[in-house]
Amino acid sequence: MLLSELSHPNQLHGLTVSQLEEIACQIRERHLQVVSTSGGHLGPGLGVVELTLALYQTLDLDFDKVVWDVGHQGYPHKLITGRFSQFDSLRQQNGVAGYLKRSESKFDHFGAGHASTSISAALGMAIARDRKGENYKCVAVIGDGALTGGMALEAINHAGHLPNTPLVVVLNDNDMSISPPVGALSSYLNKVRVSPPLQFLSDSVQESVKNIPLIGKDIPEELKNIKGSVRRLSVPKVGAVFEELGFTYMGPIDGHDIGNLVKTFNAAHKLKRPVLVHVVTTKGKGYPYAEADQVGYHAQSAFDLTTGKSIPSKKPKPVSYSKIFGQTLLKICEQDSKVVGITAAMATGTGLDILQKNIPDQYIDVGIAEQHAVTLAAGMSCDGLKPVDGLKPVVAIYSTFLQRAFDQLIHDVGIQNLPVSFVLDRAGIVGADGPTHQGQYDISYMRSIPNFVLMAPKDESELQRMLITSINHNGPTALRIPRGSGLGVAVMDEGWEPLNIGEAEILEEGEDICNS
C-alpha cells in the first residue's frame, strides 16, 4: 500500500507487519523531505513512526481517542490521517499546523503545544465516555520529558485512583527532552531501560502472570504470548513505581518492533483499567544525523538532506537576543556567585546553555516544571535574614510557557515582593509555531501582579542594561525579549550601566506626536 493513498487510519487494519514497515519507510521519507524544506520538528516524529502505526492498527479512530502530548511528534499521525498531500504547507499560513489542532482534523482529538497535558485530557475523555455508557478507548501518548511536568504527575495520581476507568498511557521513552532529561524520575526510567535484556528472563511468562495481583487470572491471551517482551511480568521491580500508583505497567517494549507493539497495545486495551505501556524509542530514528545529534535535530530550520547541514540564510543575521542574554548573564555570574540561572528544560532555546557549559554550579535545569521553577527561585531569593541576603535567581522561561506559573508569580513572588528576575524569551509574535506558542499575553498578565517591574529593551545593548538593572533591583522584575535577532547594536563585554526605573529616555526632540 502507498502512503499517498491512505486517507483514513483504519485502512491500516489488517495490514501485515511487513506492509506496515513499508509504510513506515514512506512516512520517514515524506517527513524528512518536508521538514528539510520548510523546517519543523524532526527527531520527535521520526522516533514514533512504528509506535503510531502499531497503535493505530489496534484502534478505530472514528471512535477511539488518542491524545498526543505537546503534539510536536504528530507528523506521522498527520501523514496517515489524510494530510499527506497538503503536508508541503507545514507550518505556513493556512497550511498544516506544526502541532495537533482540533479544527484541522477530526482525528486530532485534542490540541496541544505545551507539555504534560495529555494524561489529564485523555482521562477526562475516559470519564466522559464512562458517564455516557460508551466504550471507546482513550489513549495518551506522552514523552519521558513531558512526564516530568507537574500536570502529568497530577493526572497519574488521579487516574491511578480510578481502577475501573480504562485508560492507556503510552510512555514514549527516548531518554531525551529537548536536551538530556533531568531529575529523579529520569534516573528511575534509566534504570528500568537498562535492566537485563529480555532473553535472560524466564520463558514461563504465563506462570509469572498468575502471580501478579493486579492482573492475575484475567490476563489476556495476547499478553501471555508475548514471550519476554513484557519485562514487568518476570521482573517484579521493573515499573513498580507505576504499579504502586495504581497502573498496570507493561514494558519496556522496543518501540521500533511493530509486531510486538501491536500485540502489546492489543493486550493493554483488554485490561480495562489504567495501564502504562513503556515504549523505548530512539529520537530521530532512521536519519543518522538526527540520531547522532538529538538536541540539534529536535527541531530544525531548512537543511540539506544529504549533508544534514542547515541551509544558511542569504543575509547573515546578527546574534540572537537569547544568545546575548546568555552571554551577558555568564559575565554577570562570573562576577557575582549569588546569581543563579534557572531553566525549565529549555537551556538551548533561552541561551542558558552558555552558563551551563561555563559555570554549571550557577545553573539549574528543573525539567519541564515552570511552576516549580518560579517558586524555587522565590525560595532561593529569600534564604537569608532579609530578601536581599538571599541568592539572585534569574529565571529564563519562554513567555508562553510562563503562563502556566501565573499563580506562582502572584502568590510566591509578587505578593511577597521577592527579588527574582524573570527573563521572558520569545515575548511577542513568534511566527510558525502557531497560536499555542505566541508570547502575546505576558504584558497583560505581568502588569496585573503587584510589585513587578516589567521591562522591554529597544535593542541588544539595552537588554544588557536591563538585565543588570533587574538583578540589582530589590523586588521582582520581568524582562521581555523577542524571538530572533535585533538590528545588531554593539553589545558590551562589561560595565553595563543600570537604568533608572520608571524614567523615560528622550530619543529625539520634536513637536509632533511621532516625528520620524
Task: Give me the least distance between CB of 72 and ligand TPP, in Å please.
Answer: 5
Q: How far apart are CA 394 and CA 469, in angstroms?
A: 12
| Of 91 and 392, CB closest to ligand TPP | 91
Q: Is 70 in the site for ligand TPP (CB under 6 A)?
A: yes
Name which of 143 and 390 has its Cβ closer to ligand TPP: 143
Q: Pick the closest to residue 226 from 203, 207, 247, 192 (CA basis).
A: 203
Active-site hit among 404, 426, 480, 483: 404
* Grid cell 531529575 in the structure block, residue: 183
Q: Does 115 bind ligand TPP (CB under 6 A)?
A: yes
Stretch that binds ligand TPP, among 68-76, 125-133, 247-255, 469-477 (CB under 6 A): 68-76
CB 200, min distance to ligand TPP, A: 28
Q: Does 282 sit near ligand TPP (CB under 6 A)?
A: no
Q: Which amino acid is it at 178?
A: I
Q: Is 231 a catalytic residue?
A: no
CB 346 → ligand TPP: shortest distance, Å?
6
Task: Examine residue 408 and tell whether it contacts ligand TPP (CB under 6 A).
Answer: no
- C-alpha to C-alpha distance for 238 and 293, rounded to whole angstroms: 29
Catalytic pick among 65, 129, 137, 283: 283
352 contacts ligand TPP (rule: CB under 6 A): no
Considering the rule CB under 6 A, would residue 35 count as an interface residue with ligand TPP?
A: no
| DSSP calls for 71-92 | STT-HHHHHTTT-TGGGGGTTS
Angle between the N-to-C axes of helices 150-159 and 118-132, in degrees from 0 to 180, rounded to the nearest 10:
30
Per CB under 6 A, 42 contacts ligand TPP: no
Q: Work out how close the CB of 465 gets to ligand TPP at its nearest, in angstroms, rounded to a whole number.
A: 28
Q: Which residues pair with 425 in a beta bridge?
A: 398
Which residue is nearest to ligand TPP, using beta carbons? 143
Told to judge if 404 belongs to the known catalytic residues of this protein, a careful annotator would answer: yes
Q: Are 341 and 394 in contact (CB under 8 A)?
A: yes
Alpha helices in 271-309 (DSSP H): 288-292
- CA–CA gap between residue 360 and residue 354 (Å, rounded): 9
Classify 478 as helix, strand or coil. strand
Binding mask 307-346 for ligand TPP (x = CB under 6 A): -------------------------------------xxx
Contacting residue, 137, 404, 426, 483, with ligand TPP by CB under 6 A: 404
User: Does 114 participate in binding ligand TPP (rule CB under 6 A)?
Assistant: yes
On whether the CB atoms of residues 420 and 390 are closer than 8 A, the answer is no
Q: Which is nearer to ligand TPP, 351 or 457 (CB)?
A: 351
Q: Strand, helix or coil at 93?
A: coil
Residue 424 or 468: which CB sits closer to ligand TPP? 424
The CB density around residue 347, as the number of other CB atoms within 10 Å, is 25
Q: Is 174 in the site for ligand TPP (CB under 6 A)?
A: yes
Site for ligand TPP contains 73 (CB under 6 A): yes
Please answer whether residues 255 and 18 qualify as being in contact, where contact means their C-beta atoms are separated by less than 8 angstroms: no
Torsion of CA 17, 19, 23, 29, to 10 degrees: 100
Show Cβ contacts of residue 56 under 8 Å, excluding neighbours closer than 6 positions. 9, 12, 66, 80
Site membership for ligand TPP, residue 178 (CB under 6 A): yes
Taking the C-alpha atoms of residue 276 and residue 452, their distance in angstroms, rounded to an integer, is 42
Return the residue of 145, 160, 351, 414 that touches ligand TPP, per CB under 6 A.
145
Q: Which of 9, 40, 143, 351 binds ligand TPP (CB under 6 A)?
A: 143
Q: Which helix (H) or strand (E) holds 251?
A: strand 248-254
Out of 75, 87, 401, 422, the residue judged to bind ligand TPP by CB under 6 A: 401
Q: Which residues contact 58 (CB under 8 A, 6 or more apart)?
A: 262, 265, 266, 269
Per CB under 6 A, which region of 170-178, 191-199, 387-395, 471-479 contacts ligand TPP? 170-178
Residues labelled catalytic: 283, 370, 404
Enumerate binding residues for ligand TPP (CB under 6 A): 44, 70, 72-73, 114-115, 143-146, 174, 176-178, 283, 344-346, 368, 370, 401, 404
